[in-house]
Structure formats: structure tokens, C-alpha cells
Chains A and B, each alone.
With several copies, the nearest count.
Chain A
Amino acid sequence: MLKVSDLECMRGERSLFKDINFSLEAGELMQVNGPNGSGKTSLLRMLCGLAIPVHGEIRWCGNAIRSLDEEYHNAITYLGHLNGTKDNLTAIENLRISSALAGNEIDESEGYMALRHMGLGGCEILPVKVLSQGQRRRVALARLLVCRTVLWILDEPLVALDSAAVKLVQSLLVQHLDQGGMVVMATHQDINVAAVITKRLQLA
């Protein structure tokens, strides 16, 4: 489904990586590894279409993602270093609005359920700015619970999470992969997603 060929990334005057080739099928997890500054974030942003590669191509179901544009956006969910939550809105408002912007309107009860599932029971109507770092990350992750996209692109989803939340994310990933989803993930922490096909991409 996702096919990357000959990808090259230039930042400033340095070539971060080149000749990246891989493909991802339904049910597969791709883990991007590499030391700090090796270009994981840059790669994931290219996969989303947020950055444009100097060379190489990214294809989704056979078409270049640049030509698909909005259609492709319907198929992916991206979670970056930044949470994409507004400090002054409450957790539930953040979740509902960000889902709606991603083309997936959810009603209140669904939102509450997702937040509760992420361990945010009791914090639903607090503005995000008073939440702790880990709780903010959980609000951002709650989007994964309600979205209906195929490809998840996750940039260090585990940052600031405690061990309970890490387990939660693991089970979330397993479930998504079982249902034929795909995941591309960059993380420094070891994550244990058993019994699924895991590919690894090592950046220098």
C-alpha cells in the first residue's frame, strides 16, 4: 500500500539520508530507529506530505501522494512531537475538534469514552494547560482511538507517558494492526508489539 523508493532528504546543506526504500502492507508495523538527529522526524514528515523530498517518491496504493493530496489525508493520522492541542480548550473539546478537522466528527459520549479509556477520567473538562505533560500526550493519543484511518504515523508517541500508558499504546497498536491497519513509528523507547510483522528501518 505504502511504497517508498529512493527517498533522499536534505536539511540545510547536509544530506540526512538517501536511497531509502521500503514498502508497507496491511497489518505491518514499521519501526524507524536511529540516534538523535538522524532524520526520523524528517522522514515521517515526508511520509505525511508535510515536507517535500529532494529526490525519490512516496506512493500510496500506487499513486504519488502529492497527486492524491486530500484523498491521502483521509487515510492517515499523524502524531508529531507537538501534541496539536490548544492550551485553553478542555480535553474533550480538543479531542472533538481535532477529530472534526481530520474529517471525522464524533459525538460527546464517544469522546468521553475515548478519554476515559486513555486514563483521563476526571480531567475531561479541564483546560489542557493545567494538565501534566503525560496527560497532554494522552489527549493527543486519544485521537487514535476514535479515528478511522488506515495508516498511523507516530513520532515518539511514548514521550512523557508512564508505564501504564505505554502498555495502553501497545495494545492500541496491536489492535489496529490486527484490523489490517498500518503503523510507521519512530521511538527511542523499546516497545513491545508482539505477534505482528515488524519491519525496522535503521537510519545512520
Chain B
Amino acid sequence: MAINWFKYSSPASFYSLAGKMTPLFSITAFALFVAGLYIGFFVAPTDFQQSEAYRIIFIHVPAAWMSMFLYLIMASWAAIGLAFNTRLSSMIATAIAPTGAMFTFLALWTGALWGKPMWGTWWVWDARLTSELILLFLYIGFMALQAAIDDPRRADKAGAVIALVGVVNIPIIYFSVKWWNTLHQGATVSLTQSPKMAATMLTSMLIMGLACWMYSIAVVLMRTRTIILERERHTMWVSELQGTA
């Protein structure tokens, strides 16, 4: 690989690199969103069981995926930051959290809007739903903790600790919730998967998933750039940047 990674681990050079890459990812994300939505709404056929309501899937599933991926990625960056004391990794972790929380919220919201027509209720205490809700709490805890700490270095490290503790706990939480739910019988409605997911549906969903990835990368890069500026405002390179810009 031609890129010298070590070079880009310094905030200053990452700042310019990210500046170049953000538009790239934004455009890709936009194009993929358009394509995915087009296939989802105009090519994919009507589902014979759920009629048109199933079209929520094209945003619901990618959002749910992203919510989980982003937590893992956030925790990894935070861990790297804690272990090797690299400022940039911690900044990226901080930048990921709001996007992750947003996707978690979207998964909950779209799920609820899907649940009402399909199950007749906005919410059930199902394993998947419940653990998604807890994931939202974990994101919010991470952000609240970082927001409560003024000193950025301390905020980075404290955030890393709580993110890592969260990662250890997520599987425990997931399995405990799953088990809790399946031991109770009763009003549990399981997610009804459409019998044979049409190929077009799958394509659209995958494209939308990719679009969400690109979107996340773009937004995170943007936010990381802002955070870099905020933290390095008193360094030479920032003032030079101001002078030239």
C-alpha cells in the first residue's frame, strides 16, 4: 500500500487527508442512496404478505447494522487510543459516537413504525429490540461521560474505559436478554421474515447498507476534522492554516 500510515496518524496530516476524502465519500454515499432507494421503491415488487409496508426494511436493516458496527469500531479506536496514547484514534472514537447513536435511534424508530402495522403495537419487549435499546443507552452513556469532562485527554481515556467495558458487556447483555425473552412464553411476536426475499429487495438493502457506510465515514471524517481543529487550535499548523485559508 502506497499510503504511509504512520504519516497520517498525526492530526495535522490526517486533517488534510480527511479534507480530501470527505467529498469523495459524500458523493458515493449520495449516489448509493439514490440507487438503493430507486431499486427499493421502483424496482422491488410488492410483498404479498406485508404489502408496501415492508419497504421500511431498506432503511431499518442498514440502520440496525450500522448501529452495531459503529459501536465496535468506536470501541476499537478508543482502545487503540488508550493503549498507544495516540490522540487521533481517540478523536475518531469521539466522532463516531453521535453517528452511532443516530443510527441506533433510527433502527428503533423505523422498527417501531414497522411494528405498528405488522404487529399492531409500537413496541414489544423482544430480545433484539431490547438489546438495541440498551445499545442506545450505552452510546448515550459514552457521550454523556465525555461531555461531562472538560479536559479532553481525560475525556478520551475515560470514554475508552466505558466503551471497552460496554464491548465486554454487549454479548452478555444480548444473550441474557435473548434468554430472558425465550423463557417467557406469551405475547412474544417474532420478527416475521418475508418468506423468500426477492433478489431485488436484497440488492436494494445491500446498496442502502453500503450507502450508510459511506455516509458514516463521510460524517465521521468531517466531525474528526472539527475535533482536531478544536483541540489543536493553539498549535502552529492551525494558525498557519488560518493564515493561508
Q: Do chains A and B touch in the complex (CB under 8 A)?
A: yes
Provide the residues of chain B in CB contact with A127, threshold 8 Å: 150
CB of B196 within 8 A of chain A? no
Measured between alpha carbons, how far is A127 from B151 in the docked complex, in Å?
12
Q: Determine whether the beta carbon of B150 is less than 8 Å from that of A13.
A: no
Provide the residues of chain B in CB contact with A13, threshold 8 Å: 233-234
Measured between alpha carbons, how far is A33 from B234 in the docked complex, in Å?
28
- Classify the secondary structure of B's interface with A: loop
Provide the residues of chain A in CB contact with B150, threshold 8 Å: 127, 130
Provide the residues of chain A in CB contact with B233, threshold 8 Å: 13
Q: Which A residue's beta carbon lies closest to that of B233?
A: A13
* B152-188 to A contact mask, C-beta < 8 Å, 1/0: 0000000000000000000000000000000000000
Across chains A and B, the number of contacting residue pairs, with CB separation under 8 Å, is 4
* B185-209 to A contact mask, C-beta < 8 Å, 1/0: 0000000000000000000000000
The interface size of chain B toward A, counting residues with CB under 8 Å, comes to: 3
- Classify the secondary structure of A's interface with B: mixed
Considering only residues 193-245 of chain B, those with a C-beta below 8 Å from chain A are 233-234
Provide the residues of chain A in CB contact with B234, threshold 8 Å: 13
Q: Which B residue's beta carbon lies closest to that of A12?
A: B151
How far does the Cβ of A150 sit from chain B's closest Cβ, in whole Å?
31
Measured between alpha carbons, how far is A127 from B150 in the docked complex, in Å?
10
How far does the Cβ of A10 sit from chain B's closest Cβ, in whole Å?
10
Considering only residues 138-159 of chain B, those with a C-beta below 8 Å from chain A are 150
Measured between alpha carbons, how far is A136 from B233 in the docked complex, in Å?
27
Measured between alpha carbons, how far is A130 from B150 in the docked complex, in Å?
10
Provide the residues of chain B in CB contact with A130, threshold 8 Å: 150
Measured between alpha carbons, how far is A163 from B150 in the docked complex, in Å?
32
Q: Which B residue's beta carbon lies closest to that of A14?
A: B234
* A127-168 to B contact mask, C-beta < 8 Å, 1/0: 100100000000000000000000000000000000000000
Q: Which B residue's beta carbon lies closest to that of A130?
A: B150
Q: Which A residue's beta carbon lies closest to that of B232?
A: A13
Measured between alpha carbons, how far is A10 from B150 in the docked complex, in Å?
15
* A24-61 to B contact mask, C-beta < 8 Å, 1/0: 00000000000000000000000000000000000000
Q: Which B residue's beta carbon lies closest to that of A129?
A: B150
How far does the Cβ of A67 sit from chain B's closest Cβ, in whole Å?
16
How far does the Cβ of A16 sit from chain B's closest Cβ, in whole Å?
14
Measured between alpha carbons, how far is A130 from B149 in the docked complex, in Å?
13
How far does the Cβ of A84 sit from chain B's closest Cβ, in whole Å?
22
How far does the Cβ of A66 sit from chain B's closest Cβ, in whole Å?
12
Measured between alpha carbons, how far is A52 from B234 in the docked complex, in Å?
21
How far does the Cβ of B244 sit from chain A's closest Cβ, in whole Å?
22
Measured between alpha carbons, how far is A130 from B233 in the docked complex, in Å?
20
Measured between alpha carbons, how far is A130 from B154 in the docked complex, in Å?
14
Measured between alpha carbons, how far is A13 from B235 in the docked complex, in Å?
10
Measured between alpha carbons, how far is A13 from B234 in the docked complex, in Å?
7
* A11-25 to B contact mask, C-beta < 8 Å, 1/0: 001000000000000
How far does the Cβ of A126 sit from chain B's closest Cβ, in whole Å?
10
How far does the Cβ of A127 sit from chain B's closest Cβ, in whole Å?
7
How far does the Cβ of B236 sit from chain A's closest Cβ, in whole Å?
13
Q: Which A residue's beta carbon lies closest to that of B151?
A: A12
Ranked 4 nearest A-B pairs via Cβ: A13-B234, A127-B150, A13-B233, A130-B150
Task: Enumerate 4 A-B pairs (CB-CB under 8 Å) in ascending A order.
Answer: A13-B233, A13-B234, A127-B150, A130-B150
**What is B's interface to A at a CB cutoff of 8 Å?**
150, 233-234
**What is A's interface to B at a CB cutoff of 8 Å?**
13, 127, 130
